[in-house]
Structure 1
Amino acid sequence: MGFRKTSALAAAGAVAVLAAGTATTASAAPMTSDTVAATCHASSGNLYCGNRVNAAIYKSPRYDTASGNPIEIVDTLRSGFSYFKCYTIGQPHGGGNSIWYRTYGDDVGAWGYVPAVDVWTPQDPFPGVNFC
């Protein structure tokens, strides 16, 4: 599953609000995939959505090569709400489909792919997101 937003500014604001709420309120209700999905949206072909914190970003839209060698992990999504440039079709994953979203990481800014199972969209591909 995956999520989308309408603008980078909105995404940054949502992350700031979420971070402020969780950092300052110990009794705040935990975010669930349903809560985050409600904030997922597409704008100008891009997706802004919640995602699994510390999700790996792969060099290609797959976990391994045809020979079984692992695909390089190029970066990590550290935040729980991210920007995704587009989607593509890759290797099947635990989300029950083969959709992968292209994004850049939080550690070194490397571009790569995240399986849709790590993006909290209500459907994949998310409507309005460009195909890579």
Structure 2
Amino acid sequence: MSPSVPRRAARLRTGLAAAALTGAGVLSTVPASAASPAGSARTCHLREGMHHADTLGNSFSKDLYCENKPGDLYGRAYFTAPVTGRLKTSTSWFVCWTLGDPHPGGNNVWYYTQGDEIVQFPALKGWGSIPADHLWTAQDPMPGLPRCPWK
């Protein structure tokens, strides 16, 4: 596991505590019928004041902390792009959204994050995009989360 994984987990715990204490998180609950086959409601939180910087020089001050299915992160929002990282956890943060290949979720929205595991291109430190059907969001793109700075 890469050295960034413990730092990422610590950032997640710190961010959750800060959002809970300050009330900065915005809550969006997905209806149980749309969220999961088990019928339990899933939740995503927009968090302000979260600081993430990727290896490409982009900085982000907000994230979406959301339940998700583990899966591969792609270097671009296309299934033909190299897999740069992997989400292994079932709750992760996402800093922006972009458009790419259509996926089984019925749209072409993808979310950008740093993976729990580096797969290819170690210099990218696991940053990549995952199709929106891996997240339990009420709608895609998630309102309030910025679009990624590239087109």
Q: Same fold (TM over 0.5)?
A: yes
Aligned to 2:68: 51
Structure in which a larger fraction of residues adopt strand = 2
CA distance in 1, matches of 2:74, 2:41: 23
Q: Structure 2 length as normaliser, TM-score?
A: 0.59
Q: Does 1:120 align with 2:136?
A: yes
Give CA-to-partner distance per residue, 1:33-79, whole Å, 9 cap, x none: 36462x211123421101102x1101100112xxxxxx211111000
Give matches, 1:4-19, under 5 Å.
8=12, 9-10=15-16
- The question of whether the paired residues in 2 share the 8 Å contact of 1:46 and 1:128 is answered with no
Q: Structure 1 length as normaliser, TM-score?
A: 0.67
- Deviation at 1:125? 0.5
CA distance in 2, matches of 1:84, 1:43: 10
Give matches, 1:14-93, under 5 Å.
33=36, 35=40, 37=42, 39-44=43-48, 45-53=62-70, 55-64=71-80, 71-93=81-103
Report the number of matched residues: 100
Unaligned runs of 5+ in 1: 1-6, 12-31, 65-70
